Amino acid sequence: MSERQKARIATVWLDGCSGCHMSFLDLDEKLLDVLAQADLVYSPLVDYKEFPENVDVTLVEGAVSSLEDLEKIKLIRARTKILVSLGDCAVMANVPSMRNPFGARAVLERAYLENVTLHPQIPQQVIPPLLKRVRPVHQVVKVDVFVPGCPPSAATIGYVVNELLAGRIPDITDKTRFGA
Amino acid sequence: MTREELDVIAAKEQEAAARVKRHIHVCVAAGCLSSQADNVLTALNSEIRSQGLENECAVKGVGCLGLCKAGPLIALENENVMYGNVAPADVPEIVKALDGEPVERLTISPHQPFFERQTKIALENSGHIDPERIEDYIAAGGYSALADVLNEMSPSQVVEQIVKSGLRGRGGAGFSTGLKWSTVVKAVGDQKYVICNADEGDPGAFMDRSVLESDPHRILEGMALAGYAVGARQGYIYVRAEYPLAIKRLKTAIRQAERAGALGVKIFGSPFDFHIDLRIGAGAFVCGEETALIASIEGGRGLPRLRPPYPAEYGLWGKPTLINNVETFASVPTILRRGSEWFAGIGTEKSKGAKVFALAGAVNNTGLVEAPMGTTLREMIFEIGGGIPNGKKFKAVQTGGPSGGCIPEQYLDTPVDYETLNQLGSIMGSGGMIVMDETSCMVDVARYFMEFCMTESCGKCIPCRVGVAQMHMLLTKISQGQATMDDLALLEELCDLVRHTSLCGLGQSAPNPALSTLRYFREEYLAHILDKRCPAGVCEMQPEAEVYA
Amino acid sequence: MKAPLQVTVLQIDGREISAHADQTILQVALENNIWIPTLCHLEGLSDIGACRLCLVEIQGIAKLQPACATRVREGMQVVTRSARLDKYRQSIIELLFAERNHICSVCVVNGHCDLQYLARKLGIEHVHFPYMYPNLPVDASHERFALDQNRCILCTRCVRVCSEVEGAHTWDIKGSGIQSRVITDFDQPWGEAESCTSCGKCVNVCPTGALFQKGKSVAEMAKQRGFLPYLTMMREEETK
């Protein structure tokens, strides 16, 4: 297989704990097999600054929580052929969504005002503006493959990636579940 | 009381009425009362007294005269004159004109389709008798059917008459009344019950209310006839607490009927005993569903349960129970008095008799009408209803309340019966008819009815509890211009789900207003979604703010 | 002497099956290893047909019927699986996930939950309805147990077991529609509910993590349901 025919894959990390990426890294030596078939063109694990064009498969970890997440995922969707919601945060907004019943304001006050003794203030510059509601990825952009799990096991991720690289849509129903 | 004594009372009443030169009727049903008909009645009584006319004028408060929009209404029975929008201050002028020409500025012509196109069966006494006097009802032929039936017919002959009449349930689904009665007859049980469903809850519907307020004895007679036919000795009227006047009049009527021997033990000298008690509903719409209603009478939460077993087999306290709506019972005495052939001669092939409709919304003659089955929607709205006010254009008519649908202009020539309305994606329901003109937004209408169903869902089954709330969320989103075509697809998917998987009729029919507007007014949905615009100018577009603060 | 039970023959998913005439479709299906999803149903409690998961198609009947509460009839032809039923069942489960705040990853019954199990078994990998995110309380006032409204699916198993088996009727429902909530003793905190015998039956019949034992952490709480058929059987013996 020539270099040019290699698939282009990416991973992104929105509002999540990075556990799904850890699980991905748990593929260990099998990562080498993946990289033999594909180039990792964007990822928190590598140092590309801008999300590139023409990506074949993007694995998305995390829910859409902030304006930054929202803009990012829209761009990623536009530049990706197959978008994968990886893990419960991407699939169902999971723990990040636990703020939704209370609202964003309540969370910021709790974090930056109530529990702070020295100069309590809600930062305006460092953190991106929060969305009113944390949302799963598919409620913002179209998602092609869903892989629930918190996190999905390395074996599941390996299966999903290999199926996609082989040009098939993976069937994960007996491999993982919400909360797995 | 015997049949002969009944005739004596009737004759005495008729004689007394004949002695008086004039009969003046003031409508004191809920609609007119709300515009101070009681003050008009008081003023009229005192004016008649002060003019010394007590001996030639009989003034009485009567039930619904029909044309609610022109209330308070006064009818001069002998002269066939009707006055509308009467204020207490108009009374002296009316009394002065009794011997001359009618007061022109108050006159409502009785020669208009609103009155002439009606066929009154359930409403035959409404507006003619004093609902608080049993003698008035008897003078109008009341209780004669019961007296005759008890002495001359077997229970199975009564059922046969009802079957032959072709009467169908007036509460909504249109199930054959005769079939229902014969099922209860066949059900095995030492004790059986008759229940009158007076939990009328559709927005804009006031048919049953009017019958109860205008002619309560008719319901008692209908129920006693049903009790005799199916072998029940106890009846309950489940009436909603929001109808205090109906409750008061029913209480009075029950007391009078018991005292007169038209209810109680050995009715009309026969071995038949029948008692009726009231049960007051606490305001849940779903309690109009028969199994929920029964649970409520038993003192439980008003939750529907699975059918079968049907109440006919396993109803109140687990006993065979006949449950019919107010208007159904109201039709029974007339059918037995005038014969099933007479009743079956009115209406269409499959829907017999006449039906009471509550005309409301954007129509000139809002009020209560009873028209033969098969009258077209156009006749109902443009002839009887007098058309659309203020020169506006007709857009849709909503029939059947929250379980019904919106029917557009092109189907106005459809004859109204159970089957045709079903084919149009609506239902007969209890008879509510809300007319809408071009200023109504059909998305907003669907959202309104969905909100009603959401509030009134009992929450027992998942599709109705969550599905209806989801549909309401989506309709709100569409009406605010925040929805996408995916949301529309989701709405349609939920309509299908909720309709086919909900436990009771409330859930199964909750999607109807959305489905019918999607079917006939899809372009309005698309305008909200694609152009972010409400064609009728009703909905306020609110672009959603994504970011907090 | 009791009349001998009638035997009926019916078809489920094309298979000829014999059954007693007083059995439900669900009972007969389970006896014959035909799986029908259920949620409000629990062996030993009355059936209310509320979750609508066990709806099946019966030839000649236009409306779908709940298998848990529909008795078999001679010659009945039942279909328990079809594209339409699969879709409806998925949607019903998804509606439950959307209704409250089910966060499996931090739930005390993660891995032992009926809702989670059904989602997997029915092939649900995401919820395509919008989440509703209601703001709901947790009642931890009871000495040994807690109630998390966020995870309640209103199946009323707790209400029924408490009323029908324990005889205490501590649990009931307040409100209606989407506002329905399980409550103890006229909506008193559970710890102050005087009718509660602290027997724990409600906790064990609860299909999700809505009712749980205190002191259990994520995924540590498995429900023990064996007592219910046992109690039912022993009571039936008693009354014979």
Instruction: Answer whether residue C98 is part of any domain.
Output: no
Residue C128 near chain A (CB below 8 Å): yes
Both C16 and C110 in one domain: the answer is no
CATH number at residue B451: 1.20.1440.230
d(CA B296, CA B284): 10
CA angle B352–B206–B498, rounded 5-degree value: 80
Instruction: Answer whether residue C172 is part of any domain.
Output: yes
Asked if the model's pLDDT at residue A1 lies above 50, the reply is no
Both B20 and B95 in one domain: the answer is yes
CA dihedral C31, C37, C43, C49 (to 10 degrees): -120
Both C49 and C12 in one domain: the answer is yes
* Predicted confidence (pLDDT) per residue in A98-130, tens digit: 999 999 999 999 999 999 999 999 988 888 899
On average, the pLDDT of chain A sits at: 94
Say which amino acid occupies A31.
Answer: L
d(CA B154, CA A119): 91
Instruction: Answer whether residue B205 is part of any domain.
Output: yes
Cβ separation of A105 and B548 shorter than 8 Å? yes
Domain that holds residue B366: 354-437
Asked if the model's pLDDT at residue B549 lies above 70, the reply is no
d(CA A89, CA B84): 67
Residue C91 near chain B (CB below 8 Å): yes
d(CA B464, CA B285): 14
According to the model, what pLDDT value does residue C3 have?
Answer: 60
Both B335 and B360 in one domain: the answer is no
Instruction: Answer whether residue C1 is part of any domain.
Output: no
Beta-bridge partners for B419: none
Both B309 and B174 in one domain: the answer is yes
Both B368 and B477 in one domain: the answer is no
CATH number at residue C175: 3.30.70.20
B384, B410, B437: which is the final residue of a domain?
A: B437
Both B20 and B154 in one domain: the answer is no
Most confidently predicted of A98-112, B243-257, C218-232: B243-257
Residue B188 near chain A (CB below 8 Å): no
Total structural domains in chain B?
4
**C-alpha distance from B547 to closest chain A C-alpha (Å):** 4
Residue C217 near chain A (CB below 8 Å): no
Both C123 and C211 in one domain: the answer is yes
- Report the percent of chain A where pLDDT is more than 90: 87
Cβ separation of B549 and A104 shorter than 8 Å? yes
Residue B304 near chain C (CB below 8 Å): no
CATH number at residue C40: 3.10.20.740
Both C65 and C147 in one domain: the answer is no
* Predicted confidence (pLDDT) per residue in A11-37, tens digit: 999 999 999 999 999 999 999 999 999
B405, B437, B469: which is the final residue of a domain?
A: B437
Neighbours of C227 (CB within 10 A): 16
Residues of B in contact with A131 (CB under 8 A): 546-548
Instruction: Answer whether residue B174 is part of any domain.
Output: yes
Sorted by where each starts, the structural domains of chain A and their CATH numbers stand as 3-97+132-165 (3.40.50.700)
On average, the pLDDT of chain B sits at: 95
Cβ separation of B473 and C130 shorter than 8 Å? yes
d(CA B496, CA C128): 15
* Predicted confidence (pLDDT) per residue in B57-82, tens digit: 999 999 999 999 999 999 998 888 99
* Predicted confidence (pLDDT) per residue in B167-193, tens digit: 999 988 899 999 999 999 999 999 999
Both C209 and C171 in one domain: the answer is yes
d(CA B398, CA B520): 12
Asked if the model's pLDDT at residue B408 lies above 60, the reply is yes
Both C120 and C220 in one domain: the answer is yes
Both C73 and C107 in one domain: the answer is no
Instruction: Answer whether residue C95 is part of any domain.
Output: no
B323, B344, B365: which is the final residue of a domain?
A: B344
* Predicted confidence (pLDDT) per residue in B102-116, tens digit: 999 999 998 899 999
Cβ separation of C127 and A147 shorter than 8 Å? no
CB nearest C177 (choices: B301, B455, B473): B455
- Report the percent of chain C where pLDDT is more than 70: 98
If phi > 0 it is left, if psi is from -120 to 50 it is alpha, else beta; for residue B77 that is alpha
> Do residues A71 and C76 make contact, with C-beta atoms less than 8 angstroms apart?
no
What counts of helices (H) and strands (E) characterise chain A? 6, 7
Q: Tell me what the mean pLDDT of segment C106-131 comes to.
A: 96
Residue C238 near chain A (CB below 8 Å): no
Instruction: Answer whether residue C231 is part of any domain.
Output: no
- Counting as contact any 3 or more CB pairs under 8 A, the partners of C are A, B
DSSP string covering B432-457 = EEEEEETT--HHHHHHHHHHHHHHH-
Instruction: Answer whether residue C239 is part of any domain.
Output: no
Q: Tell me what the mean pLDDT of segment C124-146 comes to.
A: 97
Both C200 and C112 in one domain: the answer is yes
d(CA B274, CA B289): 25
CATH number at residue B428: 3.10.20.600
Total structural domains in chain C?
2
**C-alpha distance from C165 to closest chain B C-alpha (Å):** 19
What's the predicted TM-score (pTM) here? 0.94
CA angle C141–C143–C149, rounded 5-degree value: 45
Instruction: Answer whether residue C93 is part of any domain.
Output: no
CATH number at residue B70: 3.40.30.10
Both C211 and C112 in one domain: the answer is yes
According to the model, what pLDDT value does residue B99 have?
Answer: 87
Asked if the model's pLDDT at residue A4 lies above 90, the reply is no
d(CA B472, CA B240): 26
Asked if the model's pLDDT at residue C25 lies above 70, the reply is yes
Q: Tell me what the mean pLDDT of segment C230-239 comes to.
A: 84
3-state secondary structure of A83: strand
Residue C49 near chain B (CB below 8 Å): yes
Residue A148's Cα: distance from chain center in Å? 12
Both C17 and C114 in one domain: the answer is no
Choose among B55, B44, B71: nearest CA to B365: B71
Cβ neighbours of residue B537 closer than 8 Å, sequence gap 6 or more = B439, B441
Both B384 and B522 in one domain: the answer is no
Instruction: Answer whether residue B537 is part of any domain.
Output: no
Both C107 and C214 in one domain: the answer is yes
Q: pLDDT band at residue C76, thresholds of 50, 70 and 90?
A: very high
Both B386 and B464 in one domain: the answer is no
Both B467 and B390 in one domain: the answer is no
Both B433 and B451 in one domain: the answer is no
Residues of C in contact with B463 (CB under 8 A): 52, 92, 95
CB nearest C92 (choices: B301, B460, B501): B501
Beta-bridge partners for B82: B75, B108
CATH number at residue B258: 3.40.50.11540
Cβ separation of A177 and C136 shorter than 8 Å? no
Domain that holds residue C135: 103-225
Asked if the model's pLDDT at residue C74 lies above 90, the reply is yes
- For the four alpha carbons of B462, C111, C223 and C187, in that order, the dihedral sign comes to negative
According to the model, what pLDDT value does residue C71 have?
Answer: 95
* Predicted confidence (pLDDT) per residue in B352-387, tens digit: 999 999 999 999 999 999 999 999 999 999 999 999
Using a CB cutoff of 8 Å and minimum separation of 24, what contacts does A74-80 make?
Answer: A74/A140, A74/A141, A75/A51, A76/A10, A76/A12, A76/A51, A76/A141, A77/A141, A77/A142, A79/A51, A79/A52, A79/A53, A79/A54, A79/A55, A80/A10, A80/A55, A80/A56
Residue A151 near chain C (CB below 8 Å): no
Give the pairing of strands B432-437 and C15-20.
Answer: unpaired
d(CA B232, CA B322): 9
* Predicted confidence (pLDDT) per residue in C161-215, tens digit: 999 999 999 999 999 999 999 999 999 999 999 999 999 999 999 999 999 999 9
Instruction: Answer whether residue B468 is part of any domain.
Output: yes
**C-alpha distance from C131 to closest chain A C-alpha (Å):** 9
User: DSSP H helical segments within B261-323, as ranges?
Assistant: 290-297
Both B249 and B200 in one domain: the answer is yes
Residue A98 near chain C (CB below 8 Å): yes
